[in-house]
C-alpha cells in the first residue's frame, strides 16, 4: 500500500476543510437510530476545529440516483451531529447544480461551527466521478480530507476527482483503517492465517485467489467450504454447494500447493435437516454424511483444527462466518473461534483484523467485536481490499 497523507500533513488553521464522511446512517421515523458512523468522524472533526479550521462535511445518504429525494436529505443527521460534537451545525441544502448560493451560506456560517452539505448523490455527477461537479465542490473549501474508507472503493466525484483538486489527506478514521489493514496483509507479522467463510465461493473467488500468495494458511468455512469438500469428493448431501464451481475450487487448491499456502477445510460437520434455529442436528465425519442433511456449521474436530492453526499464527485476517451463525446452535463454530481469536489477541499473541457486514454481526453476536485488533465495518471496500484491489479513494490520497 502506498504511503498516504494524514491530517498532520495539512495546514488547517483558518482553513475550510472539506471532509468526505460516511453518514449513510440508519434512520427510522425521521431519527438516526445508530450513530456509530457519526461517532467515528469525531476525532477528525475535533482535530480540524482545535487547529482553527472549519469542517465542511460531504456525504452520500441512501441511493437517490442523482435526483433530489426529500426523505434522503442529510438534514436528518443534524441533531445527532450537534449532540455528539457539542457544536452548532449549519446545514446547507443544495442540489449541487450551482453552488454559488451554497458558497454564500458557507461564508455566513458562524466561526467554529460545523457545516454539513446536502447528500452528494442528489446530483448524477457524483456517481459518475464528474469533473465539473468535483470542481464545484472544491470551490467550497481549501483542503480535502477523506474519512470514509467504506466509500473508498468507489471512484465518485466526492471520493476521487475532488481529492485531486485540493491538498488531500486521510482523516483519523481512514488513517486507523489503513494502518490496521497494513498490519493485516501489507507488512504482517508472520505466519498469517486468513479465515474466509460465508455463503458462496462465487462472491469470494477473487479474495481467495489474492490471499493464496499472501498468507501462510487459509481456512475455508461456511457454505463455501461445501463446494471445496464436494470438489474433493465428499458427498455434501443437500448442503448449500456451487457444484459448477468444483473446477474453480480444485484450481484454488492446486495453486495453494504451488504457493505453499496450507488450505484448511472442515474435517467434520454439524448437519441439520431444516434451515432454521434450533433445528435438530447431528455431527458427522466427512466420510459418513447424511445424504438428506445440510451442513450448517463446522463440527467439533474442525473447531479444534482451526484453534490449532490460530495457535501457529501471529496475524489473522477474517471475512465471513464459519456457519449459519444467525441460527443457533449453528453459530457454535463462529462463536468459539471468534472468542478464541479474541483471547489470543488479548494475550498479545495475535494481531486480529476482521471486516465485512456479516462478520461484524457475527463478532458482535460472539461478544468480541471490541476485542479484535481492528474490526472494519466497511463491507464492499473491505472485500475489495482483501481482493488486493487499489481503492480509488485511497489511491487519491497517496503521499
Ligand atoms: P457472506 O455474505 O458471503 O459472508 O455469507 C454470510 C452468510 O452465509 C450468513 O448469512 C450465513 O448464515 C451463511 N452461511 C454460512 N455458512 C453456511 C452454511 N453452511 N449453509 C448455509 N448458509 C451458510
- 182-191 residue pLDDT tens: 999 888 999 9
Q: Note if 222 is an active site residue.
A: no
Distance 224 CA to ligand 1 centre (A): 8
The residue nearest atom 5 of ligand 1, judged by CA position, is 198
Distance 326 CA to ligand 1 centre (A): 9
The residue nearest atom 12 of ligand 1, judged by CA position, is 324
- Residue-level pLDDT at 2: 59
Q: Note if 200 is an active site residue.
A: yes
Single out the catalytic residue among 16, 20, 37, 214. Answer: 37
- Residue-level pLDDT at 49: 96
Please give the number of the atom of ligand 1 that sits closest to the Cα of 204.
3
Domains in the chain, CATH or no CATH each: 7-173 (3.40.50.1260), 188-386 (3.40.50.1260)
Q: Which residues line ligand 1 (CB under 6 A)?
A: 198-200, 203, 222-223, 240, 295-296, 320-321, 323-326, 358
Distance 389 CA to ligand 1 centre (A): 24
The residue nearest atom 10 of ligand 1, judged by CA position, is 324
Q: What is the pTM of this model?
A: 0.93
- Residue-level pLDDT at 9: 95
Distance 300 CA to ligand 1 centre (A): 18
- 243-294 residue pLDDT tens: 999 999 999 999 999 999 999 999 999 999 999 999 999 999 999 899 999 9
How far apart are alpha carbons 89 and 107 in whole angstroms?
A: 14
Mean pLDDT (the chain) is 96
Residue with C-alpha cell 456457519?
323
- 318-348 residue pLDDT tens: 999 999 999 999 999 999 999 999 999 999 9
Task: Provide the strand spans (E) within 134-235.
Answer: 143-146, 168-170, 192-196, 217-220
Q: Note if 213 is an active site residue.
A: no
Closest CA to 367 of 349, 341, 385, 348: 341
Q: pLDDT category, 1, cuts 50, 70, 90?
A: low
Amino acid at each position: 500500500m502506498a504511503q498516504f497523507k494524514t491530517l498532520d500533513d495539512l495546514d488547517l488553521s483558518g482553513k475550510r476543510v472539506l471532509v468526505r464522511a460516511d453518514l449513510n446512517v440508519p434512520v427510522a421515523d425521521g431519527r438516526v437510530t445508530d450513530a456509530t458512523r457519526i461517532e467515528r468522524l469525531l476525532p477528525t472533526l475535533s482535530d480540524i476545529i482545535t487547529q482553527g479550521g472549519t469542517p465542511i462535511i460531504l456525504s452520500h445518504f441512501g441511493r437517490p440516483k442523482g435526483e433530489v429525494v426529500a426523505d434522503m436529505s442529510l438534514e436528518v443527521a443534524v441533531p445527532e451531529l450537534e449532540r455528539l460534537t457539542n457544536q452548532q451545525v449549519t446545514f446547507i441544502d443544495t442540489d449541487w447544480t450551482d453552488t454559488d448560493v451554497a458558497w454564500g451560506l458557507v461564508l455566513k456560517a458562524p466561526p467554529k461551527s460545523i457545516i454539513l452539505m446536502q447528500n452528494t448523490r442528489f446530483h448524477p455527477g457524483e456517481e459518475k466521478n464528474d469533473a465539473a461537479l468535483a470542481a464545484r465542490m472544491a470551490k467550497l473549501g481549501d483542503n480535502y480530507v477523506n474519512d470514509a474508507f467504506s466509500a473508498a472503493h468507489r471512484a465518485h466525484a466526492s471520493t476521487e476527482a475532488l481529492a485531486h483538486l485540493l491538498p488531500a489527506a486521510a482523516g483519523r478514521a481512514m488513517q486507523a483503517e489503513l494502518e490496521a489493514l497494513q498490519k493485516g496483509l501489507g507488512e504482517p507479522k508472520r505466519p498469517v492465517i486468513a479465515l474466509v467463510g460465508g455463503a458462496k465461493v462465487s462472491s469470494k473467488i477473487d479474495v481467495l485467489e489474492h490471499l493464496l500468495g499472501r498468507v501462510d494458511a487459509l481456512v475455508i468455512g461456511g457454505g463455501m467450504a461445501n463446494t471445496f469438500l464436494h470438489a474433493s469428493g465428499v458427498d455434501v448431501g443437500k448442503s448449500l454447494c456451487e457444484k459448477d464451481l468444483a473446477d474453480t475450487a480444485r484450481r484454488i487448491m492446486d495453486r495453494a500447493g504451488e504457493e505453499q499456502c496450507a488450505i484448511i477445510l472442515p474435517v467434520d460437520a454439524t448437519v441439520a435437516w431444516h434451515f432454521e434455529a434450533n433445528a435438530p442436528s447431528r455431527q458427522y465425519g466427512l466420510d459418513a454424511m447424511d445424504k438428506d442433511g445440510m451442513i450448517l456449521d463446522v463440527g467439533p474436530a474442525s473447531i479444534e483444527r482451526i484453534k490449532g492453526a490460530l495457535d501457529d499464527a501471529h496475524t489473522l485476517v477474517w471475512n465471513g462466518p464459519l456457519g449459519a451463525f444467525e441460527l443457533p446452535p449453528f453459530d457454535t463454530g463462529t462463536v468459539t473461534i471468534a472468542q478464541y481469536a479474541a483471547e489470543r489477541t488479548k494475550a498479545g499473541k495475535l494481531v486480529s483484523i476482521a471486516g465485512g457486514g456479516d462478520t461484524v454481526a457475527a463478532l458482535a453476536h460472539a461478544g468480541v467485536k471490541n476485542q479484535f485488533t481492528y474490526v472494519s465495518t466497511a463491507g464492499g471496500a473491505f472485500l475489495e481490499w482483501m481482493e488486493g484491489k487499489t481503492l480509488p479513494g485511497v489511491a487519491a490520497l497517496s503521499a
